[in-house]
Amino acid sequence: MLRRKELDMKTSKIIRPFHTVLVANRGEIALRIFRTVRRLGYASVAVYSEADRNSPHVQAADRAVCIGPAAPAQSYLSIKAILKAARQSGADAIHPGYGFLSENDAFADAVEADGLVFIGPSGENIRTMGHKAGAKRLMQSLGMPSIPGYEGEDQSDEVFLRESERIGFPIMCKAAAGGGGRGIRRVETPEALIAALDSARSEARTAFGSDELILERAVTKPRHIEIQLLADSHGHVVHLGERDCSVQRRHQKLIEEAPSPGVNAALRERMGQVAVHSARAMGYIGAGTMEFLLDTGGQFYFMEMNTRLQVEHAVTEAVTGLDLVEWQLRVATGQALPWLQSEIRLQGHAMEVRLTAEDVPAGFLPQAGPVLRWRPPVAHDVRIDSALREGDDVSPHYDSMMAKIVAHGSDREEALRKLHSAMRHCVLLGLPSNQGFLTDCLADSVFAHGLSVNTGFVAERMGLPPTAPVPTLRIVALAVLAAQAQTLPADAQGHLHASALAQGQATGLLKWAEQRWRYRISAVTLGTGRAWQVHCTALKASTGAESITVNLCDVKWLDAEHSELTLECEGLRERLCLARSDVAVHLFLNGQSWAFECPPTHSRPEQAMGSGAMLAPLTARVLQVLVTRGQKVQAGDRLVVLEAMKMEHTLTAPFPGVVSELLVQTGGQALKGTLLLKIEAL
């Protein structure tokens, strides 16, 4: 029988038992929820877009319903389609996961209006906390420390300019709706404010359907700390300690850990108390997270509340031993939380990284494309949450996160050591990722120490954008072997014999970034046996040639798929994972992946299509075309705005000129590497 629990702030919510859970999400979070749903004995329903028809989360559920085309607005963001799927499949409860509709109050209300259980807080709670300005005013009324700023209804540029002078620069310009680091700009001077407002409004409108903004004073070198909450329908609220999410790029988290190296027991108690008090006062039900900035003096400030499960919930599960999805489900049926706050204990330390498809040196630009090799570090003592499969494509329509890797240890040093080792053995080939960058972050001495990490860590320690590692000539020589290996026969034991090479040698070109190498690989006699000899010459028109010659012995495939090789290179035994595409060879060696293009041997170094050729840096939707053919532009003028994986990317003019060709239009699609427009210099 339905019953509604009336709470302090007059929120109401359907609380009752259910039998079938529909997960209104996709990918790794859908798989993760299904694991708990299945363990507790519930039936499961997946929803999927046409692009996800064969995805792992579809195969993991008892039933699955197609809800529309690949575009999220027509599928995963369609309330009507998801409710229809629930009726069609017989689901009587819906779990939103995170992202998509998870913090959409209209969705929560619509689920309950259909008589279904929404496994999350009430629509009223989501509405209150989903609007940053309103949430901040509410938290201030409850005694929560908050950052000085402006949350007014007047959204004119004139008011923002006036208020920013009152607040003091630098300031943070933030979208009032939504989260996930989108619609946020740091502004250093009054002169930069108007452009930042325009950019933040545009991104917020695309991501959240609202361009309302707030201003906040920028806190210098803060930590990003969040308190995990659980609240039942009987008015009982507990916190499960804190997570430190300070390692970020584009205001989005990359590495999370629990507990925080910068939070002691007394500070944890103070932050936990105010978070619990606020959640109880607003009649909150379910899992939620209070997010704070912690300054260098130990003062914390409320930022926002996430009314959903967090991406980083796994580190809290590791140190508490609790399954947060399980308690979301139990609370939704009306069960009471069984613990007092004093009974919550944190055991050891946990750390998580988010593996994403992005071009790090290009400014963490999201990428889409094929997954040629995916070998997660399953032999290591880590948790891996992922829906990635070798041979799949990473879609431009959805978030760029591909996997989460979580390590737990008796202390921070052990957790870090486990995670770093796992990342050095995590193989992802076929498209750019942040795997190598994450490995470098974990190896950084400041991160290892922990106490000095703040939200500026990436900029301070790694650079913005981080520089790409440059392949040594030895790596190039190994890439030469990788480029040839899959075309050569092997014996029954997997050995590649040099004598199998046609006419005893092969030549070709390899390209990485703007560098090119001409190579020759040949069969040679070495001691009592035959081996490979690779000679590489770097093509540098202005500085002459740099060359290397290496001998490769005992080359052997380690698997039937011919994806892993072992060999001896100049006395050192190496193990390579490799893959070939039509135009490139991909190589993983010692924790780092490399992609070398294989251009035709008769080609010359690019002169591109002229220095004014603007190519799409990623596969994306054309959000705006800001110029017309024949228009004059100045260096830095905005030309085209692309949108992919929930992020905007703006192309600007490299020099003064005239738009001589324009090949795209607003609303169209652009494939990575295609010509968008050309500028002729004046």
Return the residue matching tokens 């799927």: 85
Q: Tokens 């404010």 sit at which residue?
A: 193
Q: How far apart are CA 433 and CA 109, in angstroms?
A: 38
The answer to whether the peptide bond before residue 471 is cis (omega within 30 degrees of 0) is no
Q: How far apart are CA 158 and CA 166, in angstroms?
A: 13
Fill in the amino acid letter for 58: V
What are the angstrom distances between the C-alpha of 324 and each of 81, 116, 387, 436? Answer: 27, 21, 20, 30
Our CA angle for 114, 120, 125, nearest 5°, is 95
Helix (H) or strand (E) holding 172: strand 171-175
Q: Residue 166 CA to chain centroid, in angstroms?
A: 35
Among residues 175, 268, 86, the alpha carbon closest in space to that of 648 is found at 175
Where on the phi/psi map is residue 189: left (φ > 0), alpha (ψ -120 to 50), or beta?
Answer: beta
H or E element that contains 548: strand 546-557
The answer to whether the beta carbons of residues 363 and 318 sit under 8 Å apart is no
Burial of 676 (0-12, 13-18, 19+ CB in 10 A): buried
β-bridge partners, 23: 46, 95
219 token code pair: 């806190």
Catalytic residue among 32, 185, 201, 308: 308
What number of other Cβ atoms are within 10 A of residue 210's Cβ?
A: 16
Q: Say if residues 591 and 424 touch (Cβ distance below 8 Å).
A: yes
> How many C-alpha atoms does 591 have within 13 Å on its Cβ side?
15
Bridge-based pairing of strands 93-95 and 20-23 is: parallel
Is 308 among the catalytic positions? yes
Phi, psi of 641 (to 5 degrees): -110, 120
Indicate the DSSP class of residue 459.
I
Encoded amino acid at 596, one letter: F
- Round to whole Å and give the CA distance between 152 and 212: 10
**Which of 276, 184, 284, 209 has its CA nearest to residue 239?**
276
Map residue 139 onto helix, strand or coil. helix
The full length of the chain comes to 682
Going by C-alpha positions, the residue among 411, 405, 416 that lies closest to residue 383 is 405
Burial code (b: 16+ CB inside 10 Å, e: under 16) for 587-617 equals bbbebebbbbebbeeeeeeeeeeeebebebb
For 677, counting Cβ atoms within 10 Å of its Cβ (0-12 exposed, 13-18 middle, 19+ buried), the class is: buried
Angle between helices 79-89 and 105-113 (to 10 degrees): 30
At which residue do the structure tokens 């040594």 appear? 472
CB burial class (10 A; 0-12, 13-18, 19+) of residue 379?
A: exposed
C-alpha span between 172 and 175 (Å, rounded)? 10
| Residues designated as active site | 308
